[in-house]
Structure 1
Amino acid sequence: MTVTHIYDAVRTPFGRAGGALSGIRPDDLAAMVMRATVERAGLDPALIDDVVFGDANQAGEDNRNVARFGALLAGFPTSVTGATVNRLCASGLEAVVQGSRAIESGDARVVLAGGVESMSRAPYVVEKASKPFPAVGNQTMWNTAIGWRMTNPALPARWTVSNGEAAEGTARDWGISREEQDAFAVRSHRLAAAAWAAGVYDDETVPVPDVGLTRDEGIRDDTSVETLAGLKALFASDGAGTVTAGNSSPINDGASAVLLGAEGAVDAEPLAVITGRGVHGVDPHLFPIAPIEAANKALARAGHTWADVDVVELNEAFASQSLACIAGWPDLDPGKVNIHGGALAIGHPLGASGGRIIGHAAHELKRRGRGVAVAAICIGVGQGLAIVLER
């Protein structure tokens, strides 16, 4: 079976909701990272067998297959096809999974994977009325930026709680205190700020023209546990909650791309190879802990244990979620997790985050010259996805 190589990975800096990237359409953001990736690799885009991009919303300017429109806007030949995939928060990582399967099966030699999300530009939607211009009654308008809408009433109520409420449940079930969550969030901001200052992210980010965004917009260099302690809990009606805006990932815009290929398919030194994948499902309201078994499965398929792992990129949807996953991997040194910060600081534009974490893991393996890395992410509605990389 052919092995999938990661030849390059790039992303935009991530913008805050209503911030620097909010004026840019998601299909244009996708086109930017697609174009940058092939230019950096010196690759003729006509050699790309398929473009697979993740996108969790697909309700606005990203509707009707943003992967295909992004490729067209990037100037790729019309012969280069595109498919958009949706596994919610793991959509970008799912794109890499599907691209790697195509390469390993021999269906493709080069696949450009990744993802995009503009949560700022997500539209409001209204269900169709039972008849045109009804004389009575009101319609609910739904904000598609985040959260459930139009949920099926047949589902148990505990399965359709908000992600924040699920994060509260995780904190309670795993005995994770407010202080631990806030401390973990401060760590994320400080590590991300230090990494940007040291130039760690220079090789994997590309500037967005005309916006002046030189790093991830959500990083707060001066945040502290004392500052975060003053924030109100958002998801517990009794006021006894621990999950706040400060220890949750923000709402963001951004795009990421990962260039995948068979051995020798791209005239460049690979960053890493993919050696294991794992997906796992749990009850929907337990989604924060689903990456635990997803990563365990991926490592087993790669023939490794946690003792072999050098780098972990775990998407930080919530501090409670991240701390629970780390606790669920008792053989892992927590110091190996998100050594350059995570989504609590960097941001979580849903469709793009999977490409970011696997891309950063691959670049880190290149910096080290060797090693084993795990990229793992939790997914709303009770799933987790993980990929193992080696160099």
Structure 2
Amino acid sequence: MSEVYIVAACRTPIGSFQGQFEKHSAVELGTVAIAEAVKRASLQPEDVNQVIMGQVLTAGQGQNPARQAALGAKIPTSSTAYTLNLLCGSGLKTVALGYQGIKNGDYEVIVAGGQESMTRAEHSAYLRNAKMGNLNLSDTLLKDGLHDAVNKDTHMGHTAENLAKIYGISREAQDEFACKSQNKTEKAVTDGFFEKEIVGVPDKKTGNLIAKDEFPKFGTTVEKLSKFRPCFISNGTVTAGNASGINDGAAAVLLVSEKQLKQRQLTPFSANRGICRGWS
């Protein structure tokens, strides 16, 4: 069985909700990431055997968004593509599946990654039985992305509150962790740490490249975070300052077999020697 190697990786900048990527679909962001991963590996689109992209918010986005993004990146129709939904683990799972596909000898070159636009998640309504009158719209960002499908009144934020209570994670501890995360990100951005991994996305209005993360909050302090109100329950600990963000972006890696690595004289980032299984 072949070893599996990562030979290229890239991502778009991360956009804030209704921010710099409000006019870009998940497919458009994914197209940029896929094309750049292929380019960085010094391969051609026709060299790719399969594309696997994770995406949770697919309602109203058209058939198989991964295929759409692959076609946008000039990957030929002779290659396969499919979209994966494992919620927050979607993008990571695509890499595991890509690994398995090459390890088993089914493929030799695979692009794996994820694409999402939380900004452009659509609203939906069931119209088939409606003869007249008003209809309620469902926000698919909430219904498909953030609300528990089994316990329908449970938001992801409520789960965070439940975990904080079970494990005794105080508001202060959450704010401190969030502050450290933002401060580390600020330093990394200032030091140019992310520049090599980011591929710019053309702005639809100006044509200029959007090449910087929008979401990091420079100058974050614990004192500033302490002023945020709880989001989900009145006496809660989870706030807009210490919770995960609502964002837009895409990322992709290019996986190859050992045969392709040697034949094309590619330089690997790493050898992928195993996978882990998770539940989401």
Normalised by the size of structure 1, how large is the TM-score?
0.66
Match runs of 1:21-40 below 5 Å? 21-40=21-40
Any idea what SS the aligned residue of 1:120 has?
coil
The answer to whether the Cα contact below 8 Å between 1:119 and 1:146 also exists between their aligned partners in 2 is no
Q: 1:251 aligns with which of 220, 243, 246?
A: 246
Distance of 1:76 and 1:161 partners within structure 2: 40
Q: Which has more helix, going by share of residues?
A: 1
In structure 1, give the amino acid aligned to 2:260. A
State the match for 1:299 in structure 2.
Answer: none
The answer to whether the Cα contact below 8 Å between 2:48 and 2:75 also exists between their aligned partners in 1 is no
The answer to whether the Cα contact below 8 Å between 1:148 and 1:162 also exists between their aligned partners in 2 is no
Distance of 2:71 and 2:128 partners within structure 1: 36
Q: 2:139 aligns with which of 143, 167, 182?
A: 143
Matched, 1:276 2:274: yes
Matched, 1:108 2:103: no
In structure 1, give the amino acid aligned to 2:225. L
Return structure 1 stretches of 4+ with deviation > 4 angstroms: none
Any idea what SS the aligned residue of 1:112 has?
strand
Distance of 1:119 and 1:109 partners within structure 2: 32
State the match for 1:233 in structure 2.
Answer: 230
Any idea what SS the aligned residue of 2:273 has?
strand
Residue by residue over 1:223-262, the C-alpha shift from the partner in whole angstroms, topping out at 9 and shown as x without a partner, is 11111111110111xx210000111111111110010111
For the aligned residue pairs, the C-alpha RMSD in angstroms reads 2.0
Distance of 1:222 and 1:87 partners within structure 2: 34
Gaps of 5+ in 1: 282-382, 384-391
Gaps of 5+ in 2: none
Normalised by the size of structure 2, how large is the TM-score?
0.91
In structure 1, give the amino acid aligned to 2:54. G
Matched, 1:84 2:79: no
In structure 1, give the amino acid aligned to 2:79. V
Distance of 1:147 and 1:176 partners within structure 2: 27
State the match for 1:51 in structure 2.
Answer: 51
In structure 2, give the amino acid aligned to 1:248. A
The answer to whether the Cα contact below 8 Å between 1:147 and 1:162 also exists between their aligned partners in 2 is no
Any idea what SS the aligned residue of 1:220 has?
coil
Higher relative contact order (CA closer than 8 Å, sequence separation 6+)? 2
Distance of 1:141 and 1:118 partners within structure 2: 19
Number of residue pairs matched by the alignment: 272
Distance of 1:110 and 1:227 partners within structure 2: 47
Matched, 1:172 2:171: no
Distance of 1:152 and 1:172 partners within structure 2: 19
Residue by residue over 1:105-130, the C-alpha shift from the partner in whole angstroms, topping out at 9 and shown as x without a partner, is 00001100111001111111112342
